[in-house]
């Protein structure tokens, strides 16, 4: 009985080091083809920015935001693409890759035999996912600055916001992955992700939607992410960003908690 209970106890002493070891294992297993995956994932939002932000923007013209700022359509779309890029980079690592290592490679069955706890595995995998999300965010911000869609100072401020978005979606992705039964279940997640991409104030202001749909849109995580980064990028005033930050921090905490608890049940059963 003691042997069954002790592995479930969480010791926070040395937890950062053990979590870092999980991320280091992923780095050691990295293959050269991974850089092609990184490039392809970064190009998608850039192509959306050029095709819709600039192409359609030539027809739309300038937009007036709720705060009164007048911005070009490309400057309106770019922060949404940055938030979507951070979301995509984090989810790619914490869904398909995480699920494969947990269910089919049985990687964590061996890791859990060491002093590493489920929470530390989740934290290490989230940290590894954020390396990818951070690269995406930094590169996209360079594109935004080079296209004069935001200033250097605002881009520097937007970077930690994009990192926070990645943490929130990475934790959410891990929590959802622990509930998946097979690869087919990810079709539903892909559909949900694409729906968020389309209806999160990405290409049109949320105020353009009917009242009920607007309320639904405004409580989604990608909308809060877009709202936060767009406010920073265009220099919006007010304190509404505090709600966005609190929302994303709460999502990160809940995602990590659910992921670690469910991993513990799956690995110790």
Q: What would the pLDDT profile of 168-217 be if each residue is shown by its tens digit?
A: 999 999 999 988 888 888 888 888 889 999 999 999 888 888 988 999 99
Whether residue 58 lies inside any domain: the answer is yes
Which are the contacts of 70, defined by CB distance < 8 A and separation ≥ 6? 62, 63, 64
Indicate whether 12 pLDDT > 70: no
In this structure, is residue 16 part of a structural domain? no
Per residue in 18-57, pLDDT (tens digit) is 777 776 776 666 665 556 666 766 788 888 888 888 888 8
Q: What is the mean pLDDT of residues 75-84?
A: 92
Within-domain flag for 33: no
Q: Which domain holds residue 216?
A: 39-268
The reported pLDDT for the residue numbered 141 is: 92
pTM here is 0.85
Spell out the residues 6+ positions from residue 154 whose beta carbon is closer than 8 angstroms to its own: 232, 233, 234, 235
Q: Give the chain's domain count.
A: 1
Sequence-separated (6 or more) residues with CB below 8 Å from residue 143: 46, 49
Would 26 be classed as within a structural domain? no
Instruction: Report yes or no on 18 lying in a domain.
Output: no
User: So what's the pLDDT on residue 253?
Assistant: 94
Q: Has residue 171 been placed in a domain?
A: yes
User: Is 31 inside a domain boundary?
Assistant: no
13 domain residue, yes or no: no
**C-alpha 138: how far from its chain's center?**
14
Lowest mean pLDDT among 8-17, 23-32, 118-127: 8-17
């Amino acid at each position: 009985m003691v042997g069954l209970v002790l592995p479930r106890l969480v010791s926070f002493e040395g937890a950062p080091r053990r979590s870092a070891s999980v991320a280091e294992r992923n780095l050691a297993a990295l293959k050269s083809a991974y850089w092609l995956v990184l490039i392809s994932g970064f190009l998608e939002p850039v192509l959306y920015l050029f095709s819709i932000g600039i192409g359609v923007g030539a027809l739309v013209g300038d937009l007036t935001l709720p705060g009164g700022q007048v911005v070009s359509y490309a400057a309106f779309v770019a922060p949404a693409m940055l938030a979507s890029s951070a979301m995509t980079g984090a989810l790619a690592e914490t869904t398909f890759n995480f699920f494969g290592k947990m269910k089919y490679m049985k990687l964590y069955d061996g890791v859990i035999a060491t002093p590493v706890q489920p929470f530390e595995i989740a934290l290490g995998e989230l940290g590894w996912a954020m390396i990818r999300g951070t690269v995406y965010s930094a590169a996209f911000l360079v594109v935004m600055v080079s296209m004069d869609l935001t200033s250097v100072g605002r881009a520097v401020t937007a970077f930690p916001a994009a990192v926070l978005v990645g943490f929130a979606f990475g934790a959410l992705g891990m929590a959802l992955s622990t509930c998946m039964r097979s690869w087919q279940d990810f079709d539903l997640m892909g559909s949900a992700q694409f729906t968020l991409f389309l209806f999160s104030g990405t290409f049109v202001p949320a105020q353009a939607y009917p009242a009920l749909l607007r309320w639904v849109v405004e409580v989604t995580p990608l909308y809060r992410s877009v709202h936060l980064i767009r406010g920073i990028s265009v220099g919006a005033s007010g304190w509404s960003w505090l709600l966005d930050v609190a929302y994303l921090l709460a999502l990160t905490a809940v995602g990590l908690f659910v992921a670690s608890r469910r991993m513990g049940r799956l690995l110790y059963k």
